[in-house]
Each structure stands twice: as C-alpha cells, then as structure tokens.
C-alpha cells in the first residue's frame, strides 16, 4: 500500500491522496441452494440386430 501511494504521488502529484476509509458493511447475500431437478433420462436403447446375409460370391 505504501509503495502504491508513493507511486501515485510520484506520477500524480495533483491528486489529494488521503486515506479514505470507506464504511465496509459485511453484506451477506441470501444464498439459496438451488437444486435443479435432475431427471435421469434413460434413452430407450433398442438392440438393433441387422439381418446379416452371408453373400458367397461364385
């Protein structure tokens, strides 16, 4: 922090760098635990058996 202040004073002497202490309030956002409905989609796997014809060339 001190290094940054010296850096800013060196580069920007026209800025009045006072130590502003902003009121930091501890915001606690309401964290809602969203559980998306996970549906277990099982795609119907049909066991396709293609008719394999045994072509024997003459």
Distances (CA, A) of 57 to 29, 50, 53, 54: 76, 20, 12, 9
The residues, ordered by sequence, that sit 6+ positions from 15 with a Cβ below 8 Å of its Cβ are: 8
Look up the pTM and report it: 0.14
Q: What is the pLDDT of residues 2-58, one digit of tens each?
A: 666 666 555 555 565 566 666 767 777 777 777 777 677 777 777 777 777 777 776
Q: pLDDT value at position 49? A: 75
């Amino acid at each position: 922090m001190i290094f940054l202040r010296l850096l800013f004073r060196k580069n920007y002497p026209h800025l009045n760098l006072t130590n502003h202490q902003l009121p930091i309030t501890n915001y606690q956002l309401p964290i809602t635990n969203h559980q998306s409905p996970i549906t277990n989609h099982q795609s119907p796997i049909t066991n396709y058996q293609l008719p394999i014809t045994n072509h024997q060339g003459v």
